[in-house]
């Protein structure tokens, strides 16, 4: 194989307060040129005054004038967005505090209750010395929160109170900004309906295929020969036919006889299928030597989405990872929605060992799978858990891995294991196994045992 190649749901208040009909509209700073595939509004947070000057009812916020440092924005009207998060200057600085937002729906014109935004503090990121770290300015970031189409926002970030012995509160990171992401409209599929679009619909013309950019072609060609150039999905294969995928993934180093335990390939929606704007990411791909483990995550972006909206959620996450957080591409190698659909994540080829930015310290020789949603107290849908089993049975099988086994990974550095330490991991692990975090949520983490068993069974292992 190739070596490295450059190439909470919120806490409800007693009532939503009536706000003035005309909310202040801020001067919006775009973090990148507006593209058809979406846009990002990036607004700096400001110090907030005494409790009397802010909207009451923020749960858990200390109303004392001596409260810990608090930053945010008062209720205001903004351009339409669907996902929100907070970023700050230094990725190495941790945010110790509480982040809460409420938003105004464009559909109902009503304000939501206050919602907690989960802090990440580096757990979803590139390894400290990865190529990703030197290519862009990497920012600290909270988890993103999907709120649906909205045009108003209010945010409050309060540092943790000081310890009783010192009474010195935590300080908030510098350069805090709220990121409001609009996923944009999904790009029409090139030739997706397969219909001949000759003059006047006479069936005699050529199939109309929108022009493909260099970046789109690069991303799509990475999945040859699994799918044709410009395909919106990679079709499912039965177990026998999936053996050819292993031979391709190993660059011809495996034979059918040498790779007997491979699960059937699941249907995978490609990046083009969910509307990824290939112009956002860095060009080229970075590969590691193999895939020894799969780390399961939840996106922590909430469960308030319909399955038909999953592509929009992905486009929003993608913009948040690249434009707001500074990563070279979407962080996870794959995503799974709550209806069990599997999506291609980071570009580079679904059967290849693509370096991701999902589990700091253990991105090398691993893959990251994110189930869209938050599963700390909510159980993941059975179809989503089943999809993770099907995906790992196939992808791990391409590299000869038994989903029930252990493997050894070398830490690239993080908050749990020092750089260079050899760590024994389950071949299917949760994010928390490699980094001190609650991800993938207690409820999803509790399903990993049955996932390992199901994945091995799909591979045909005794």
Strand partners, 117: 99
Instruction: Please check whether residue 54 lies inside any domain of the structure.
Output: yes
Q: Are residues 177 and 276 part of one domain?
A: no
Q: Are residues 248 and 156 part of one domain?
A: no
Q: Are residues 351 and 255 part of one domain?
A: yes
Give the tens place of pLDDT for each residue, 122-177: 555 666 566 665 567 889 999 999 999 999 999 999 998 865 455 566 789 999 99
Q: Are residues 220 and 267 part of one domain?
A: yes
| CATH number of the domain to which 446 belongs | 3.40.80.10
Q: How far, CA to CA in Å, does 394 sit from each of 228, 233, 388, 401?
A: 20, 16, 10, 10
Distance CA 217, CA 172 (A): 43
- Residue in this structure with the two tokens 């938050």, named with its chain if needed: 374
Predicted confidence at residue 2, as pLDDT, reads: 39
Instruction: Please check whether residue 78 lies inside any domain of the structure.
Output: yes
Whether 434 and 445 have beta carbons less than 8 Å apart is answered as no
Distance CA 29, CA 79 (A): 11
Average pLDDT by consecutive 10-residue portion of the chain (462 residues)?
A: 38 35 51 60 90 49 63 98 96 91 98 92 60 72 96 96 60 96 73 34 42 88 93 92 75 64 96 96 93 96 96 97 94 97 97 92 95 97 98 95 97 84 96 90 97 97 94
Instruction: Please check whether residue 164 lies inside any domain of the structure.
Output: yes
Instruction: Please check whether residue 21 lies inside any domain of the structure.
Output: no
DSSP per position, 6-63: ----PPPPS-PPP--SS---PPPEESS--BTTBEEEEEE-EE---GGGS-S--TT---
Q: Are residues 375 and 306 part of one domain?
A: yes
Give the end of a domain, one of 128, 161, 182: 182
The residue segments making up the domain with residue 432 are 214-459
Number of domains in the chain: 2
Q: Are residues 270 and 160 part of one domain?
A: no
Q: Are residues 229 and 115 part of one domain?
A: no
Distance CA 130, CA 231 (A): 31
Q: Are residues 308 and 178 part of one domain?
A: no
Q: Are residues 230 and 166 part of one domain?
A: no
Whether 335 and 312 have beta carbons less than 8 Å apart is answered as no
Instruction: Please check whether residue 263 lies inside any domain of the structure.
Output: yes
Beta strand ranges found along 223-360 (DSSP E):
233-234, 268-269, 293-298, 334-336, 342-344
Q: Are residues 407 and 316 part of one domain?
A: yes
Q: Are residues 285 and 163 part of one domain?
A: no
Instruction: Please check whether residue 20 lies inside any domain of the structure.
Output: no
Instruction: Please check whether residue 15 lies inside any domain of the structure.
Output: no
In degrees and rounded to multiples of 5, residue 79 shows phi and psi of: -70, 155
Distance CA 82, CA 28 (A): 16
Closest to 360 measured CA to CA, from 325, 321, 412, 410: 412
Closest to 32 measured CA to CA, from 279, 215, 328: 279
Give the end of a domain, one of 160, 182, 204: 182
Instruction: Please check whether residue 13 lies inside any domain of the structure.
Output: no
Q: Are residues 172 and 219 part of one domain?
A: no
pTM of the model: 0.85
């Amino acid at each position: 194989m190739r070596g490295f190649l450059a190439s909470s749901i919120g806490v409800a208040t007693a009532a939503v307060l009536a706000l003035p009909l005309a909310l202040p509209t801020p001067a919006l700073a775009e973090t990148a040129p507006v593209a058809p595939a979406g846009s990002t509004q990036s607004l700096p947070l400001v110090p907030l005054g005494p409790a009397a000057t802010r909207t009451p009812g923020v749960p858990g916020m200390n109303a004392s004038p001596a409260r810990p440092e608090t930053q945010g924005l008062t209720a205001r009207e903004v351009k339409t967005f669907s996902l929100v998060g907070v970023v700050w200057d230094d990725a190495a600085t941790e945010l110790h505090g509480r982040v809460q937002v409420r938003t105004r729906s464009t559909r109902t014109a009503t304000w939501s209750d206050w919602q907690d935004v989960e802090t990440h503090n580096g757990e979803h990121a590139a390894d400290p010395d990865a190529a990703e770290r030197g290519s862009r300015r990497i920012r600290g970031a909270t988890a993103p929160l999907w709120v649906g189409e909205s045009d108003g926002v209010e945010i409050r970030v309060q540092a943790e109170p000081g310890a009783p012995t010192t009474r010195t509160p935590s300080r908030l990171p510098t350069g805090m900004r709220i990121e409001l992401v609009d996923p944009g409209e999904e790009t029409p599929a090139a030739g997706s309906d397969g219909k001949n679009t000759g003059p006047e619909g006479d069936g005699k013309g050529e199939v109309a295929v929108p022009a493909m950019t260099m970046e789109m072609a690069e991303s799509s060609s990475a999945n040859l020969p699994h799918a044709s150039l410009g395909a919106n999905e990679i079709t499912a294969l039965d177990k026998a036919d999936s053996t050819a995928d292993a031979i391709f993934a190993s660059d011809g180093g495996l034979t059918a006889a040498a790779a007997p335990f491979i699960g059937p390939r699941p249907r995978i929606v490609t990046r083009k299928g969910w509307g990824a704007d290939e112009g956002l990411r860095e060009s080229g791909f970075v590969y590691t030597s193999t895939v020894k483990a799969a780390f399961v995550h939840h996106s922590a972006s909430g469960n308030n989405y319909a399955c038909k909206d999953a592509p929009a959620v992905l486009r929003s996450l993608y913009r948040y990872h690249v434009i707001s957080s500074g990563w070279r591409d979407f962080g996870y190698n794959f995503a799974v929605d709550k209806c069990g659909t599997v999506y291609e994540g980071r570009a580079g080829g679904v059967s290849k060992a693509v370096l991701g930015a999902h589990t700091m310290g253990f991105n090398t020789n691993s893959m990251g799978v994110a189930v869209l949603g938050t599963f700390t107290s909510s159980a993941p849908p059975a179809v989503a858990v089943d999809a993770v089993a099907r995906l790992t049975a196939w992808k791990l099988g391409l590299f000869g891995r038994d989903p029930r086994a252990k493997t050894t990974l070398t830490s690239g550095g993080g908050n749990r294991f020092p750089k260079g330490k050899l760590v024994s991991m389950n071949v299917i692990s949760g994010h928390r196994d490699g980094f001190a975090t609650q991800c993938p949520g207690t409820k999803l983490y509790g399903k990993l045992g049955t996932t390992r068993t199901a994945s091995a069974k799909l591979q045909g292992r005794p």
